Structures are given as C-alpha cells and as structure tokens.
Amino acid sequence: MKLEIAKALIKHGCVKLSPQKPFTYASGLLGPIYCDNRLILSHVDFRNKIIAAFVDLIKFTSGLSHYDFIGGIATAGIPHAAILADRLNKPMVYVRPKAKEHGRKNQVEGDFKANQSVILIEDLVNQGASLEEAMLGLKIAKLNCSRCLCIVDYQMPQVKNRLKNHSLILDSLTDFDHLIQAAFELNFIDSDGKKLLMDWHNDPKEWSSKNS
C-alpha cells in the first residue's frame, strides 16, 4: 500500500522533487522535496482512496478500536479528519497550533469532555513540531491521545524523541523511503537525485547550509 500511495502522490503532483532548486520550508531550512497533500482534496477518486486507507488502518490496527473523536491538526489535517469522521460516523475535534487570543481562547475546538480519547490526523509529519503542539493542546484540554495517523511520514530521527516524550504512536499511509523508491521507479529521479535526497534526509540542517 505504501508504495502505491507514494506513486499516486507523485503522479497527482502532491510531491515535488527538486534537488537542484531546493524549497524553503516554514522552519527556514532548505530541502529538495515538497509535499502538498491539500491537492488530494481536488481529486475525488484519490481522496476516497486516502480516506479508505485511513479507515482500514483504524479498523485493522491493534489498539485503535476504542476512541471518542477523530482530531484534525490545523490546518492541512482538518479536511482529511472531517471526511474520515464523516465516513466513520464519529464526532470530530480539531487542534490549533496555539490557543486563540480572543473569544473562548480555545486551542482544541469541539464539544468534548475531559478524559475522552482522540485519534489525531495529520497530513505530513516532517520534524514533528505541529504534532507536538497538538499533543500539548490536547493535554491542556484534558483529552487523551496515544495514536496519530498521517498521510506522509518523512521518517526524521527528531520525531522519534517527540513521539516518545508524548507516548504517541505514529502510523503513516506512506513515508520518505517509499516516496524515494516510487520516484526512482517512475523515473522522476535518477541515481544521483536519489543520493542527493538521501543526503538531505540524513542531515537536513547540514544539507540546507551547504545549498543556501
């Protein structure tokens, strides 16, 4: 499944690979890969495939049978969480990066009670910063979460520590390894491009510094 979804992401233009002209990320670092899973929403068949894959993960993964809410991480995780919650006929909440500065000053939006459980939905996990913000928000709201599902996991080493700190398990529909394999098999990159992408993955900060 992971290779199939990786190939579909590339074919639909959701994943852009540009080793020679790097992208600038929100962190300010440069990188040779950019993933825009918002484009999935415009392709009905592919969107349904992604949601069906999430449904299968929840139904057939140990430890995911009991939960109260599907939770979307703002902003890109929200639409996928909404469609998934509707498909499963489950209630939904969503989590902002930080609490609002006006009104009720919520970070978690929805109608919930303390100690209820949430399965988080994220579109992409890179360094895991937004995921950590969401977990902190859930804890402040006294909601429980032990599982996050994402479309793409970049498999960055830093994320492992963040997951461990929050006792969180991350499941992905595809990941960096399968994206690179898919890109190579589809002739989007050659051996040199594959090596360059792996060099970035091994040390994003050093790669960014060398290519700035």
Q: What is the DSSP string of 145-207?
A: EEEEEEEEE---HHHHHHHHHTT-EEEEEEEHHHHHHHHHHTTSS-HHHHHHHHHHHH-HHHH
Q: Write out pLDDT tens, residues 33-53.
A: 999 999 999 999 999 999 999
The yes/no answer on whether domain 2-211 falls in CATH 3.40.50.2020 is: yes
Q: Write out pLDDT tens, residues 89-116.
A: 999 999 999 876 676 778 999 999 999 9
| Residue 84 contacts residue 54 (beta carbons within 8 Å) | yes
Q: In 5-91, which ranges are E strands?
A: 15-17, 23-24, 30-31, 33-35, 69-73
Give the bridge partners for 93, in sequence order: 71
pLDDT at 55 over 90: yes
pLDDT, position 25: 87
| Residue 110 contacts residue 132 (beta carbons within 8 Å) | no
pTM for the whole structure: 0.94
